[in-house]
Structure 1
Amino acid sequence: MTDREKLIAKIRALTAKTVAAGCTEAEAMAAAEKVAALMRDHAVSETVIDMEKASIGVKFDVRSIKTRVCTAVAHVTNSAMVHLREGRDKTVIYVGAAPGPQIACYLHDVLHRAIEGGVKEFRKGAFYKARRSDKTRRKAVEDFVDGMIRSLVCRLLLMFRANISTARGDQARAALDEMFPKARMVRPKEAKARFADATYAGDRAGARVNFRHGVERGGVAGLIGKAGA
């Protein structure tokens, strides 16, 4: 936990000291004054205090085309995301109003597992096996993944279109900027397709993924908040 995260945790603990929670009026007033001073002295906004965050470990780098999945997941859950690397450990953190970040991690896991499964099946196929070098095989997998990601992202946006709120997304991005002031924008590398057949295979694989059933059983749909809310 960073110093800023400790500060935010302290502020949240102080805001919980209310009369309704069993504190005296004097204790609640003292806590409120301390909160105001901490927020003023450390430039912490109310938006950050109201936000939650959830993280999930990843194997890919920040410039991988797989980060497009993370961006889409953040968008449909009215969250914002940041990709962190500490040594060999890589993590994606989602920030937003609850339960957005928790739902984002769930969707993240579902979609990336689907991609991993799709790649395994693709490597068993005739097209992949027909490539004669490690380089062309890697490129075939990259094109397959690109096609699968495009398909999954389109389905995700369609499925959650009624939940997307520009206002909530903006608040999440503002909170993320405040939580991670040193973070910078890094664009995923451009996918330059070489094997159209691999891309089409990825698109078809993405269309076959039955993530709607898992989402509905998990109680995800409808929990994020309607657009404009």
Structure 2
Amino acid sequence: MTQMAERERVKARIRLLVARTVENGCTEAEALAAAEMVGRLLHQFALTMDEVTLRESACVQRRIAWPTTRRRPVDGCVPALARFCDCKVWIDRQQGAAAYIFFGMAEDVELVAYLYEIILRGIQGATKDFRAARPELKGGALVSAQRRYQTGMAARLAERLEALRQMRHTEFRQQHARGGALILVKDQAVEAAFRATAVRLVSTRRGMVRADDAYHQGYAAGEGINLNRPLRRQDRDRIR
């Protein structure tokens, strides 16, 4: 038996021992003995409970519908948002409708939906301010400048999400002796669950946008959206 196979066998045994509780019908003595064995196995094999239970976490999908079937500037930061939340994302088009499908562990998919709403509202609010500050723009010129502004915002938000993801992983590795292993285990768990689906991802090309004054103003505005807000109970309830 390989070392990896042995560790997986031990993890499975620990999960069974953790389930031996008074609530599940064990006596207090049996539950205590099981808890002591869990402690010994964790120490012997240098494991953490996070690593033991991570592979058991179920992956889910979250559908976020588009208002139309046309692409929008916010698309520019969606891949980075998915990576930040350790999720996969693809575009689903059916019966004249389009939507993002986010795939990952339940708590990560919930977070990605929350942050997507924060980003979308932030872009919409900043765009209103941009339009109000440029009364000289009318018709097609206004639509074009507004799109470049929003594209600049999305570009900056994508950069910030990538940087925050890297920072979070670095801090996690520093705070946990097996932090790198836990990140790898989580990635592998999501990949394994995703391979079990019938979805096959393909990349798409995005058009070029001229980086003019409107774009740079949007890029600067992308710094103002708060991406660090905690996911509180009232926030979770609001986005369901």
Shorter-chain TM range is: 0.5 to 0.7
The 1:197–1:151 alpha-carbon spacing in structure 2 relative to 1, beyond 3 Å, is same
Q: With structure 1 as the length reference, what TM-score do the two structures score? A: 0.61
The superposition leaves residues 43-67 of structure 1 with CA deviations (integer Å, 9 ceiling, x where unpaired) of xxxx898322222222354754422
State the Cα distance separating 1:217 from its structure 2 match.
5.7
- Residue in 1 that maps onto 2:158: 153
Q: Distance in 1 between matches of 2:74 and 2:198?
A: 22
Does residue 208 in structure 1 map to residue 213 in structure 2? no
> 3-state SS of the aligned residue for 2:106?
coil
Give 4+ residue runs of structure 1 displaced > 6 Å after superposition: 18-23
Q: CA deviation at 1:160?
A: 3.2
User: Identity of paired residues, percent?
Assistant: 17
Larger Rg belongs to: 2
Q: CA offsets per residue over residues 30-82 of structure 1, 9 Å max, x none?
A: xxxxxxxxxxxxxxxxx898322222222354754422322111101111012
Q: What corresponds to 2:95 in structure 1?
A: 87
Question: Does the alignment pair 1:192 with 2:209?
Answer: yes
Distance in 1 between residues matched to 2:219 and 2:159, nearest whole Å: 10
1:168 is the counterpart of 2:186:
yes
Give yes or no for contact 2:87–2:102 (8 Å, CA) kept in 1: yes
TM-score (norm 2): 0.59
> 1:140 aligns to what SS in structure 2?
helix
Task: Identify which of 47, 54, 75 aligns with 2:62.
Answer: 54
CA distance in 1: counterparts of 2:60 and 2:114, whole angstroms: 15
CA RMSD of aligned residues (A): 3.2
1:9-39: CA deviation from partner (whole Å, max 9, x where unpaired): xxxxxxxxx998979xxxxxxxxxxxxxxxx
Unaligned runs of 5+ in 2: 1-18, 26-54, 170-182, 234-240
Q: Which ranges of structure 1 fall in alignment gaps of 5 or more residues?
A: 1-17, 24-46, 220-229
Q: Structure 1: how far apart are the matches of 2:150 and 2:131? A: 12
Decide which of 117, 126, 139 is 1:118's aligned counterpart. Answer: 126
